[in-house]
Amino acid sequence: MKLSLGFSPCPNDTFIFDALIHNKIDTQGLAFEVVFDDVETLNQKAFGAVLDITKLSYHAYAYCTNNYVLLDAGSALGFGVGPMLICKTDQDLSDPNLKVGIPGKFTTANFLLGLAYPHLKNKVEMVFSDIEQMLIDGEIDLGLIIHENRFTYQDKGLKKVKDLGQFWEEKNNCAIPLGGIVIKRDLPLAIKKTVNQLIRESVEYAFANPKSALPFIKSHAQEMEESVMYKHIDLYVNKYSIGLGADGKKAVETLFDQAQENSIIPQVNKNLFL
């Protein structure tokens, strides 16, 4: 059976899925047709139920729970891993007219921005990798960065305004849920459970053989230094990527509860977890 699988070309995703899609583990008769896209494009595809299995933002998951269910394996949660609000020159954060570059309306980063600074509504959506340059060029006043940009912004003369992951952790005393892996609800339960187990095994293989995925990671992050790749992986791939566990599920439920309380997402009635 062949299933379509979408994830980003970022090092954490290529690290997680390398063993699965390159048959370094026994895939139990399943084959995967891989689609690479940035996270907001994957979010949009999830809204249309385009792919059988896909990475998405936890924020976006709220809008497609009728079609997808969250797998236990493959998620990006953690401490000290959240998005960051940055600037080129100091700004008056009370000014509601500040123009903020965001990596997508339905990213968890934008959800956290809404919690921390609800008055900042002048937002411009752009590919996450363009945000630093837009700040440098003066096209935006503030930038909301994710992924490896948290390691590079200072080298470009940019400054931290707020670590939104730290904001979340201090507020809730739990990990911040960034992205998860979902699978179509209408697939047979046995297939869903098998895919979940395979992703878990793929993560475990990557941890046991950390250099095995390097050629694959490099092929999709050609301009990134190897040290940055592994910093990225160390931040976003951890115990929650193997399995959410009780703590991970609690963090996801906390995210959804707060988002619903603040009318950031609609009420979700479906069971969130496989």
Does 264 have pLDDT greater than 90?
Answer: no
**Distances in whole angstroms, Cα of residue 238 to Cα of each of 79, 82, 214:** 10, 14, 17
Would you name the residues annotated as active-site residues?
Answer: 147
Instruction: Tell me if 49 sits within 8 A of 252, measured CB to CB.
Output: no
User: How confident is the model at residue 79, as a pLDDT?
Assistant: 87
Q: Can you give the pTM of this predicted structure? A: 0.88
**pLDDT tens digits along 83-134:** 999 999 999 999 999 999 999 899 889 989 988 999 999 999 998 889 999 9
If DSSP codes are grouped into helix, strand and coil, which group holds residue 48?
Answer: coil
- Residues annotated in the binding site for substrate, as ranges? 55-57, 108-109
Q: Shortest CA distance to 75 belongs to which of 252, 268, 232?
A: 252
Q: pLDDT-derived band of residue 152, with 50, 70 and 90 as boundaries?
A: confident
Residue 194's pLDDT is what?
Answer: 98
| pLDDT (tens digit per residue) in 19-31 | 999 999 999 999 9
- Residue 16: C-alpha distances to residues 198, 200, 204 (Å): 11, 9, 9
pLDDT at position 151 is 79
| Binding site, annotated residues | 55-57, 108-109
Confidence bin at 228 (pLDDT 50/70/90): confident
pLDDT higher than 80, residue 148: no
In angstroms, the CA 63 to CA 242 distance is 25
Q: Give the domains, in start order, of the chain with CATH numbers.
A: 2-78+176-261 (3.40.190.10), 84-172 (3.40.190.10)
- State residue 226's pLDDT score: 84
Three-state SS at 159: strand
Q: What is the pLDDT at residue 55?
A: 98
Residue 223 has pLDDT above 80, yes or no: no
Confidence category of residue 270, pLDDT binned at 50, 70, 90: confident
